[in-house]
Structure 1
């Protein structure tokens, strides 16, 4: 597999990199094991100091690394700067709170006295080197939301990043080294996907986390299961966006545009299926379609651009196939449906698109549309809306627009997703656990749940 920076706005290959040899991989595994032996013994104060320094450096580097991300995967440069700022926030959040999140827990003596213990407690200890297999769509954030808690817990990281963002991957290793982390605490492995199994099977690698596609998750989970190693998986999503009769329809429609086209539509937690009650369907669909049609598509380096290119030619082809299949089976194209004007033969652009009349025979009903394509459904009531929302193999997050408390409680109870966002769009935050159910994966990132995923939760029982 080629490891290269290819500009999605032009298709031009900017830089290429050689994959690590087996000997070079072995050296990095040795370094990781040696670094872990030392890092696990450091104090929370020392770990916090290092992570805070990394946050300061990232803040200083933001203009440069934002440009790099845009060149490598095509996100608008404004959203790239926002991504870097979000990473800085998460790093400082964990630097401030990791010690309290992993503090020893002491059960009440009355609850354990029949166990024979004079004293009992639960302690959180690090596991060791963790392999992180990360995607290209949020090339900084996806890594930092693993690395910040993992390093604060006393683990060390091995990053196998997506092969189309090698410069961002190398930057991340250099960031932690410049911050003062010892060599081996966080390393980037420039390797193809074929090397993952061997690395994961190595006894020095104790666990893995993956954000990516369902097939990638299945592959990593299979190997890890065979080796009996812990994994956390965050896979695809086809998030529903329910708009019910009592909703603020104008605000719901405006937010829906951002929820669908964030990151050029290439986000697992982007709203993709807009399920709208018949009482408000016409006005919502009109407002939403008008706003989608008006989005400015263009050069992602231009701060006025709202939607840039998809990350790869294959990504655009896959998206176009979903739309074409839906149209052939009777779906109506309310806007978009192909390459935008002026970009027919350059770059990997696809116009913001709204499809109506989608049904279960169409691939776009079942598969994740990874790009600026929305499907709009009309439903007659809440029961039908919830049933349709759950009619997917994914369960990452969901959005509900309503002022009715009964509707909110019902959706929280019945929507099959790792998150329910009411009167707003899904977003991740360091203080809130993040993850999915069904084929969107398992385990949680962020918050207390995220930092504890790669800890040995140890019971300490003492008798007099």
Structure 2
């Protein structure tokens, strides 16, 4: 096995960077360093931890221009949109910094004569975070910042496609004054990553990625026998329901963005839409108008609004889903010829809206992770709920309506982690980010997200 790997840019297929993989010996040393550093870090007052992490956010924001360019080269996100990653990172980090005192406060179970009692939230120890390539900073911050605020040490493994992003996170934390060893970032093979998961000081593994990857994490932890916990955010096939009373202009614009931002490469991208039959045709016209207004092209161009997907294999997978659906009777509403940058055999892939689809088609059941969405008419709320729940995944679902009470009633019947009304594809850091079914387990963001990064420790003192 090679001890290096290359990052191939989807922009033009060239080598963007070459990176070394750490050895097993280096991985063992990293865990030992993190374990020793964590013992000291947890004694640092929370206010000081907050100050360091806040300064790191400020330094991160100073790099906005270079981050935008970096994301264009590594994953193909247009430079016109790359700044959103910085804004999302900042919003989440600042929320967790401010929420930490309440989230980590002692729990007082109430007075009891002759006793002093409390429950403390203490750090679990060393946290191993494995971040994905599609939102390399915004997903990483979900666990790194609250883990450090809680007094843990963190080892980060970024996806190979965005491995360079780990350098920046390490750099701003060091510049802000984080003690050496409390945060470390390395590139490594799957086998070396499993070795870290199985190390005794590692008490939590936070993974964002595929179902297959999540299963591999679970197996590695079980084989190691160290009883480490896991937080897993896995696949998604997020649905939307447009009711007859929806504002169709708002719905079309919101769902086009929710389905196609980042070329549809988001765990919570909208991948299937159900529309009340009475407004179905009108909605389709408005949705297609939004999609046709996009410009597919080189992400470095300022007028590009849709960049390439991450690699040719990803593009071929989505093209295969579309072709299979058409063979089974689906119709494509978007003329690929209107997107001249589209080229089979390359990552440049035109967006597509499919109709006459059903749940026998892969495109309506299998995660796409690309710029395609299927749209089906429905005749009732009940039918929409049944179809939305007909999935192995459950991350988010959105309801487009003016009736907030009905949206709540529908939402209570949906098998999902988050229910939106009149928006989608957005993470509010004050709300728990969680999935059900094959989307995974665990929770990040909000005060609830601190729970998996800490353990309860009870103090039960009898006064003599």
TM-score, L = length of structure 1: 0.95
After superposition, the Cα gap between the structure-2 partners of 1:95 and 1:409, relative to the gap in structure 1 and judged at 3 Å, is closer
How big is each residue's C-alpha offset from its partner over 1:323-357, in whole Å with a ceiling of 9 and x where there is no partner? 11111111111115699413426851111100111
- Partners of 1:395 and 1:311 lie apart in 2 by 24
Q: Secondary structure in 2 aligned to 1:369?
A: coil
Aligned to 1:179: 176
Aligned to 2:443: 444
- Partners of 1:371 and 1:431 lie apart in 2 by 28
CA displacement at 1:386 relative to structure 2: 0.3
Partners of 1:234 and 1:441 within 8 A in 2 = yes
Partners of 1:39 and 1:155 within 8 A in 2 = yes
Q: Secondary structure in 1 aligned to 2:434?
A: coil
After superposition, the Cα gap between the structure-2 partners of 1:28 and 1:405, relative to the gap in structure 1 and judged at 3 Å, is closer
- Partners of 1:74 and 1:186 lie apart in 2 by 28
CA displacement at 1:274 relative to structure 2: 0.5
The worse-fitting range, judged by mean Cα deviation, of 167-176 and 150-159 is 167-176
- Partners of 1:127 and 1:220 lie apart in 2 by 18
- Partners of 1:409 and 1:148 lie apart in 2 by 32
- Partners of 2:77 and 2:346 lie apart in 1 by 13
- Partners of 1:399 and 1:309 lie apart in 2 by 26
Aligned to 2:253: 254
Aligned to 1:170: 167
- Partners of 1:327 and 1:345 lie apart in 2 by 17
Correspondent of 1:44 among 43, 46, 59 = 46
Alignment of 1:406-425 (within 5 A): 406-425=405-424
Partners of 1:208 and 1:232 within 8 A in 2 = yes
The worse-fitting range, judged by mean Cα deviation, of 402-411 and 47-56 is 402-411
Aligned to 2:352: 353
How big is each residue's C-alpha offset from its partner over 1:372-431, in whole Å with a ceiling of 9 and x where there is no partner? 101001111111000000000000001001122452132121011000001112311221
Q: Secondary structure in 1 aligned to 2:393?
A: coil
Q: Are positions 1:127 and 2:129 aligned together?
A: no
After superposition, the Cα gap between the structure-2 partners of 1:345 and 1:33, relative to the gap in structure 1 and judged at 3 Å, is same
RMSD over aligned CA atoms reads 1.8
Instruction: Name structure 2 gaps, 5 residues minimum.
Output: none
- Partners of 1:70 and 1:207 lie apart in 2 by 32
- Partners of 1:93 and 1:190 lie apart in 2 by 29
Partners of 1:200 and 1:224 within 8 A in 2 = yes
Correspondent of 2:108 among 94, 106, 109 = 106
The worse-fitting range, judged by mean Cα deviation, of 398-407 and 125-134 is 398-407
Aligned to 1:3: 5
TM-score, L = length of structure 2: 0.95
Aligned residues: 459
Aligned to 1:93: 95
Partners of 1:240 and 1:272 within 8 A in 2 = yes
Alignment of 1:55-454 (within 5 A): 55-109=57-111, 113=112, 118-226=115-223, 227=225, 228-336=227-335, 340-344=339-343, 347-454=346-453
- Partners of 1:78 and 1:20 lie apart in 2 by 35
The worse-fitting range, judged by mean Cα deviation, of 339-348 and 129-138 is 339-348
Q: Secondary structure in 2 aligned to 1:318?
A: helix
- Partners of 2:40 and 2:119 lie apart in 1 by 23
After superposition, the Cα gap between the structure-2 partners of 1:28 and 1:398, relative to the gap in structure 1 and judged at 3 Å, is same
After superposition, the Cα gap between the structure-2 partners of 1:39 and 1:293, relative to the gap in structure 1 and judged at 3 Å, is same
After superposition, the Cα gap between the structure-2 partners of 1:281 and 1:181, relative to the gap in structure 1 and judged at 3 Å, is same
- Partners of 1:203 and 1:108 lie apart in 2 by 36
Q: Are positions 1:458 and 2:457 aligned together?
A: yes
After superposition, the Cα gap between the structure-2 partners of 1:347 and 1:339, relative to the gap in structure 1 and judged at 3 Å, is farther
Q: Secondary structure in 2 aligned to 1:42?
A: coil
- Partners of 1:147 and 1:441 lie apart in 2 by 19
After superposition, the Cα gap between the structure-2 partners of 1:123 and 1:361, relative to the gap in structure 1 and judged at 3 Å, is same
Partners of 2:394 and 2:417 within 8 A in 1 = yes
- Partners of 2:395 and 2:117 lie apart in 1 by 37
CA displacement at 1:250 relative to structure 2: 1.4
Partners of 2:35 and 2:126 within 8 A in 1 = yes
Partners of 1:163 and 1:192 within 8 A in 2 = no
